[in-house]
Amino acid sequence: MSDHVIGLDLSCNKLKGELHPNSIIFQLRHLQQLNLAFNNFSGSSMPIGVGDLVKLTHLNTSYCNLNGNIPSTISHLSKLVSLDLSFNFVELDSLTWKKLIHNATNLRELHLNIVNMSSLRESSLSMLKNLSSSLVSLSLSETELQGNLSSDILSLPNLQRLDLSFNQNLSGQLPKSNWSTPLRYLVLSSSAFSGEIPYSIGQLKYLTRLDFSRCNLDGMVPLSLWNLTQLTYLDLSFNKLNGEISPLLSNLKHLIHCDLGFNNFSSSIPIVYGNLIKLEYLALSSNNLTGQVPSSLFHLPHLSHLYLSSNKLVGPIPIEITKRSKLSYVFLGDNMLNGTIPHWCYSLPSLLELYLSNNNLTGFIGEFSTYSLQYLDLSNNHLTGFIARNLKRLYLSNNNIRGKIPKWFHKKLLNSWKDIQYLDLSFNKLQGDLPIPPSGIEYFSLSNNNFTGYISSTFCNDTFLQHSAMPVPFMCSIWLTTI
């Protein structure tokens, strides 16, 4: 009824269809805030009429399924404080970018995730320094940015949130000095940033999230990083970092997620984790870590994900575990662990996946009393015995399991284990009749055993079976029925 509407929020309303250029929305010349996020204007481009809303301070068209070019008229919105065009299939050319940054000097929030910005060059990106007095949040994830980013951008004095992730051709180095900004959220993952993590990282005392994963960082982690006591999320995985993992990690008492995997860290795992009582996720896989697995890891009350695979760890798996442990995913494969499988592996009610393959474990496989376990990999050890319950994946290859497969195993395979997808019993000393694969299984390997008898026609009838490995003639005698 009136064109004096100053705020319009139509977000999350399941609107769909064309966002028409003549829509009454673009005639509301007094609008200061317009939110169209999380609707479906598939096939529509952003109307040039948006530039007529010159009083806009907040514009959000994220997750609207828009496409085409962002109109140059958006640069007319000189009063913008917050602009979010993220997660649309739109393109922002360098000329429109330059006009926008030149005019909208009060921008505090600029979010353009997955907007195509491939035409921008280093000179265009450097214009962000024009917003040094206002910019608080900058998110340009997966925008196809390229070139070398000036380290000054990472040091804008009021910046609290910065996300430049998934720009594989965007290079740069971290500031080596004067980095005392109020950054709380810093994500550069899957970019081409390189060099060492500078000592100046310790100046970011407000950081809660730090993600440098899948960059080209090398060298040692500076001790100053372990003074970032507000961190809840730390990911330095898939780099070339080396040296030891400092015991000062215990300073990070608010840490929930820690991933240092796929680097070149060496020495032993420090016994400091008793202080990390909030830790839920710990990944140290694919390094050169030595020594034993610290028993303190298994006394963390909230730890649910533990990844220590592909290191050089030795000794037994700790036998003690905290009461009401929440461990769900335990990956200890590809080490040099020895001894027997501890009792908690058989009884922990929260355990979903257990990977102990490629170690030197010995002894008899015990009886599993937990019904939560779905994936189990005990292959390439020196174990004996057999196993029962409702799994999705079971790997027992390369052990010392011998004798006939029990009748109860045949019955469970055909009647009870309805969700099983992978079964590998190869390279053991099993005898007797071949087990019949259950309907729906995708991988079924029995090769290199001592089976005899006939191969059931069931092997030919299972439409889901993608890989089936039969015993080789050298290891057994087989009669094939004529088909």
Q: 151 and 31, same structural domain? A: yes
Q: Is 19 inside any structural domain?
A: yes
Which tokens belong to 453?
A: 């008898």
Chosen domain end from 264, 292, 320: 292
Chosen domain end from 137, 161, 185: 161
Distance in angstroms (rounded) separating the CA atoms of residues 23 and 455: 70
Q: 192 and 141, same structural domain? A: no
pLDDT for residue 418: 72
Q: 226 and 131, same structural domain? A: no
Question: Given pLDDT bands bounded at 50, 70 and 90, which one contains residue 468?
Answer: low
Print the domain residue range for 126: 1-161
Closest to 199 in 3D by CA, of 178, 176, 220: 176
Average pLDDT over residues 183-193: 98
DSSP one-letter code for 79: T
How many independent structural domains does the chain possess?
2
Q: Is 332 inside any structural domain?
A: no
pLDDT for residue 443: 87
Report the amino acid identity of residue 42: S
Provide, rounded to the nearest whole percent, the portion of the chain with pLDDT above 90.
74
The tens digit of pLDDT for each residue in 271-329 reads 877 789 999 999 999 999 999 999 999 999 999 999 999 999 999 999 999 989 999 99
The tens digit of pLDDT for each residue in 332-386 reads 999 999 999 999 999 999 999 999 999 999 999 988 888 899 999 999 999 998 7
Alpha-carbon dihedral sign for residues 168, 174, 175, 180? positive
Q: Is 154 inside any structural domain?
A: yes
The tens digit of pLDDT for each residue in 235-253 reads 999 999 999 999 999 999 9
| H or E element that contains 145 | none
Q: 178 and 157, same structural domain? A: no
Q: 184 and 146, same structural domain? A: no
Residues 6+ apart with CB under 8 A from 1: none
Q: Is 369 inside any structural domain?
A: no
Distance in angstroms (rounded) separating the CA atoms of residues 267 and 353: 27
Q: 280 and 228, same structural domain? A: yes
pLDDT for residue 478: 37
Q: 74 and 4, same structural domain? A: yes
pLDDT for residue 409: 79
Average pLDDT over residues 246-263: 96
Q: 177 and 95, same structural domain? A: no
Q: What is the CATH number of the domain that holds 118?
A: 3.80.10.10
Q: 116 and 206, same structural domain? A: no
Q: Is 425 inside any structural domain?
A: no
Distance in angstroms (rounded) separating the CA atoms of residues 63 and 231: 29
- In 10 A of CB 438, how many CB atoms? 21
pLDDT at residue 481 is higher than 50: no
Q: Is 407 inside any structural domain?
A: no
pLDDT for residue 178: 86
pLDDT for residue 271: 85
Q: Is 63 inside any structural domain?
A: yes
Chosen domain end from 292, 310, 330: 292
Which tokens belong to 365?
A: 């496989």
Q: 15 and 156, same structural domain? A: yes
Q: Do 164 and 145 contact (CB within 8 A), yes or no?
A: yes
- pTM for the model stands at 0.90
Q: 280 and 136, same structural domain? A: no
Torsion of CA 278, 227, 149, 74, to 10 degrees: 50
Q: 259 and 143, same structural domain? A: no
Q: Is 153 inside any structural domain?
A: yes
Which one has a higher pLDDT value, 107 or 483? Answer: 107
